[in-house]
A and B are shown apart, each in its own frame.
Chain A
Amino acid sequence: MPKRAAAAIVTTVLALILLFSFKTPAESGAALGAPGLVSPAPEASTGPGTVGEVPAGSSPPPVAAGTPAPGTTPAPTKATSKPATNGSGTFTGSAVQNPFGEVQVQITLAGGKITAVTALQLPSHGRSGFISQDAAPILQGEALSAQSASIDTVSGATYTSDAYTQSLQSAIDQSHG
Chain B
Amino acid sequence: MVDALVRGRPRILATMGTVIGLDLRDPDLSEAAVDDALAWLTDVDARFSPYRPGSQISRLARSEVELDDCPPDVRFVLARCEALRLESDGYFNVRGPQLLGGLDPSGYVKGWAVEEAAFILEAAGARNYALNAGGDVVLRGSPEAGRAWVVGIRHPLEADQIVARLAFEPGSGRRAVATSGQYERAGHIVNPRTGQIPDELRSMTVVGPSLALADAYATAAFAMGRDGLRWLATRQGYAGYAIDHELRPSWNASLEPLLAAARGEPGPAA
Interface residues of A (CB under 8 A from B): 23, 25, 28-29, 32, 34-40, 44-49, 99-100, 124, 126-140, 143-146, 149-161, 163-164, 166-171, 173, 176-177
Contacts and interface: CB of A to CB of B under 8 A. Distances in A.
A152 B130 contact: yes
Q: Chain B at the A interface: mostly helix, strand, loop or mixed?
A: mixed
Given A38-B182, A157-B179, A157-B184, A131 B152 contact: no
Contacts of A169: 19, 21, 132, 135
A100 B226 contact: yes
B253 A130 contact: yes
Contacts of B9: 176
Nearest to B200: A49
B249 A138 contact: yes
Contact of A151 (B152, B186, B249): B152
Interface of B: 3, 7-10, 12, 14, 17-19, 21, 23, 110, 130, 132, 134-137, 139, 143, 149-163, 165, 177-187, 191, 193-194, 196-200, 203, 205, 224-227, 229-230, 233-234, 243, 245-254, 256
Given A164-B19, A176-B23, 8 more contacts: A140-B161, A144-B161, A154-B135, A155-B136, A158-B134, A160-B185, A163-B184, A173-B7
A111 B182 CA distance: 49
A131 B184 contact: no
Given A155-B152, A158-B185, A168-B154, A49 B162 contact: no
Q: Per DSSP, are chain A's interface residues mostly helix, strand or loop, or mixed?
A: loop
Nearest to B189: A157
A126 B227 CA distance: 15
B246 A155 contact: no
8 contacts: A130-B252, A131-B233, A153-B132, A154-B135, A155-B151, A158-B134, A158-B185, A173-B10
Contacts of A170: 19
Given A37-B186, A138-B243, A161 B17 contact: yes
